[in-house]
């Protein structure tokens, strides 16, 4: 039986299994011997057509008259038992001995079954930076080289070429190369010395803040005000650098744009637009010279962040989960337009409409902003960002601390406090941010509306939380004085 003759139900189940965590990429690259550029082409074609990438792989491979039993053998070499089982009815009985061999191996002294191995590999894939970013971004892991396109049908090992080669830097990218590759290569590379001069030798006077990934300095580069993030990790596998470069392809009004990067100096650096309005955290805590945020300004921030998150969560193909939504990662420009920054923990979400979440081996993020299903069960889904957003909404309404030891122990976290107050039937307007409560800028009803959204976004069960698209639509439908003037 040829690949293109596979029964519809078997074909669909194989696609479901191999689409999970992009397992089809290992099949294509390591076992079918497709080049890196071939894999990118398959992925992009599937995205454009709105079909499973595994289905597109089978279509391409099947055009060379490959048979189902050849696929069975490749799955055997992958030790992917569930997919082999799926194909068992489509191969001759003599091939089933290979499946039995893998299945019975779990009865030996080594208790780790082949299924366990596959599951461990999938978990590692879900948690690794290689699964969290598109393939072309790995050029940095190869010391600035990128894969060139292979013109063979398959079986060719991709060659590598310096990213500073004229054929790439002057725009001579091979026709048909992936759009992501073009976007990544278009990011300006800056020298470390340039950035050192731009920040006045990393002057303390220019220090904007510190975080888990390093320090952020303001500076002037080519007469342009910039923020330079100097990263701690410099081992060539810096997840922050790779993910931020990847995300530069997702241009959106509410995502912080990356101006350039520095690679190869004492520290890796990322260069961003300087956000004159500071962070939402600074504005809520009164850490800047700016006046307190008005309700119309808070609405604008909430609306913009919801808009940015729904864009990430509803991208065609696989959603992107930020993983660390909090006021410190929401930056404001001079017009108070919010932009989501710090994508160092961003990861790809579950692929396909029937996939609600994926299991990860490690939990990252800021604990008071994370839901229990992620903290305890390590279930990652877009609902994690929804929960974090709900906590931020309540912070914007009340300016309460996200974790406060002075509150009774069951409700020291803000999310628990929200639901305790909700159960008691409290009027959330009484918790309005003290800096605007009782002033002409006060808006008790909007405070209640923000709190209502926060309650729904922080529901214990993730399936009870709204999607970010639903939140965005709810905010968009709100009526408030001067809404059009403050948002447009």
* pLDDT single digits (tens) 222-273: 888 999 989 876 554 555 666 666 665 567 889 988 888 887 788 888 898 8
Asked if 326 and 344 touch (Cβ cutoff 8 Å), the reply is no
* pLDDT, position 398: 95
Contact 132, 322 (CB under 8 A): no
Residue 132 has pLDDT above 50, yes or no: no
Segments in 204-294 forming alpha helices (H):
239-247, 280-284
pLDDT at residue 243 in the model:
62
The torsion of the CA quartet 431, 436, 438, 440, rounded to 10 degrees, works out to: -140
Q: What does the pLDDT read at residue 102?
A: 82
* Stretch 460-487: mean pLDDT: 82
Q: What percent of the chain has pLDDT over 90?
A: 36
Confidence class of residue 131 from pLDDT cuts 50, 70 and 90?
very low
- Catalytic residue (one of 19, 22, 178, 324): 324
Give me the mean pLDDT over the 122-140 stretch: 40
- Answer yes or no: are the C-beta atoms of 398 and 480 closer than 8 Å: no
* pLDDT of amino acid 309: 95
Is the pLDDT at 120 greater than 60? The verdict is: no
Q: Which residues are CB-contacts of 270 (< 8 A; sequence separation ≥ 6)? A: 228, 229, 231, 240, 241, 244, 258, 261
Range with the poorest average pLDDT among 195-199, 293-297, 358-362, 470-474: 358-362
Q: Which residue has the higher pLDDT, 38 or 178?
A: 38
pLDDT value at 136 more than 80:
no
Quick one: pLDDT at residue 160?
A: 28
Give strand pairing partners of 293: none
**Is the model's pLDDT at 355 over the cut of 80?**
no
The answer on pLDDT for 55 being more than 60 is yes
Q: What is the pLDDT of residue 182?
A: 57
Question: For 188-210, what is the mean pLDDT?
Answer: 91
Q: Of 63-72, 80-89, 475-484, which range is least confident?
A: 475-484
- Enumerate long-range contacts of 56-64, CB under 8 Å, 24 or more apart: 57/18, 57/24, 57/27, 57/28, 57/32, 58/3, 58/4, 58/6, 58/11, 58/14, 58/15, 59/4, 61/3, 61/32, 61/154, 62/2, 62/3, 62/4, 64/153, 64/154
Partnered with residue 147 across adjacent β-strands are: 160
pLDDT band at 185 (very low <50, low <70, confident <90, very high): low
26: left (phi over 0), alpha (psi -120 to 50) or beta: alpha
Task: Categorize the per-residue pLDDT at 112 as very low, low, confident or very high, splitting at 50, 70 and 90.
Answer: very low
Q: Pick from 84-98, 248-262, 382-396 the range whose average pLDDT is largest.
A: 382-396
With bands split at pLDDT 50, 70 and 90, how would you rate the model's confidence at 180?
Answer: low
Confidence (pLDDT) at 172: 32
38 tagged catalytic: no
208 pLDDT band (50/70/90 cuts)? confident
pLDDT exceeds cutoff 80 at 390: yes
Report pLDDT for 479: 78
| Higher pLDDT, residue 375 or 35 | 375
DSSP per-residue letters across 147-167: EPPP-SSS-PPPPEEETTSHH
pLDDT given at position 428: 94
The end-to-end CA distance of the chain, in Å, is 60
Task: Please report the pLDDT score of residue 240 as a whole number.
Answer: 60
* Overall average pLDDT of the 324-353 stretch: 84
> Widest CA span of the chain, in angstroms?
82
pLDDT of residue 391: 97
* Interatomic CA distance for residues 457 and 464, integer angstroms: 8
Give pairs for 450-454: CB < 8 Å, separation 24+: 450/298, 450/302, 450/393, 450/394, 450/396, 450/397, 451/393, 451/394, 451/397, 451/398, 451/418, 452/428, 453/390, 453/393, 454/390, 454/391, 454/393, 454/394, 454/397, 454/418
């Amino acid at each position: 039986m040829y690949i293109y003759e596979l029964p519809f139900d078997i074909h669909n189940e194989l696609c479901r299994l191999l689409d999970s965590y992009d397992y089809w990429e290992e099949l294509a690259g390591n076992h079918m011997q497709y080049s890196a550029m071939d894999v990118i082409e398959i992925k992009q074609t599937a995205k454009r057509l709105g079909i499973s990438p595994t289905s597109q792989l089978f279509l391409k491979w099947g055009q060379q008259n490959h048979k189902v039993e050849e696929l069975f053998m490749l799955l055997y070499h992958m030790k992917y038992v569930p997919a082999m089982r799926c194909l068992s009815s489509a191969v001759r009985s003599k091939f089933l001995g290979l499946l039995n061999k893998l299945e019975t191996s779990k009865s030996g002294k080594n208790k780790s079954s082949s299924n366990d191995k596959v599951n461990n590999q999938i978990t590692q894939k879900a948690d690794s930076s290689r699964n969290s970013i598109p393939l072309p971004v790995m050029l940095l892991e190869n010391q600035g080289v990128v894969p060139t396109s292979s013109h063979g049908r398959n079986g060719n090992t991709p060659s590598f070429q310096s990213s500073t080669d004229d054929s790439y830097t002057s725009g001579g990218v091979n026709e048909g190369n992936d759009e992501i590759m073009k976007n990544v290569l278009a990011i300006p590379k800056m020298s470390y010395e340039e950035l050192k001069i731009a920040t006045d030798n990393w002057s303390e006077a220019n220090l904007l803040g510190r975080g888990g990934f390093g320090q952020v300095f303001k500076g002037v580069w080519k007469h342009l005000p910039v923020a330079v993030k100097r990263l701690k990790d410099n081992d060539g596998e810096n997840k922050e650098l790779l993910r931020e470069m990847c995300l530069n392809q997702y241009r959106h009004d509410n995502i912080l744009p990356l101006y350039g990067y520095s690679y190869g100096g004492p520290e890796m650096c990322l260069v961003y637009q300087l956000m004159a309005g500071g962070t939402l955290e600074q504005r809520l805590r009164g850490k800047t010279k700016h006046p307190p945020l008005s309700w119309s300004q808070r609405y604008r921030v909430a609306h913009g962040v919801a808009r940015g998150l729904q864009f990430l969560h509803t991208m065609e193909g696989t959603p992107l989960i930020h993983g660390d939504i909090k006021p410190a990662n929401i930056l404001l420009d001079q017009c108070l337009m919010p932009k989501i920054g710090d994508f160092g923990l961003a990861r790809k979400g579950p692929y396909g409409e029937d996939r609600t979440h994926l299991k990860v081996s490690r939990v990252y993020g800021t604990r008071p902003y994370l839901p229990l299903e992620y903290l305890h069960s390590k279930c990652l889904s877009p609902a994690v960002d929804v929960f974090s957003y709900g906590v931020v909404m309540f912070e914007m309404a009340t300016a309460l601390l996200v974790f406060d030891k002075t509150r009774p122990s069951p409700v020291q976290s803000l999310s628990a406090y929200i639901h305790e107050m909700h159960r008691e039937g409290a009027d959330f307007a009484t918790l309005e941010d003290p800096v605007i409560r009782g002033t002409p800028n006060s808006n008790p009803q909007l405070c209640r509306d923000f709190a209502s959204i926060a309650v729904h976004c922080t529901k214990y069960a993730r399936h009870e939380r709204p999607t970010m698209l639903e939140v965005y639509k709810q905010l968009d439908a709100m009526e408030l004085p001067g809404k059009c003037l403050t948002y447009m």
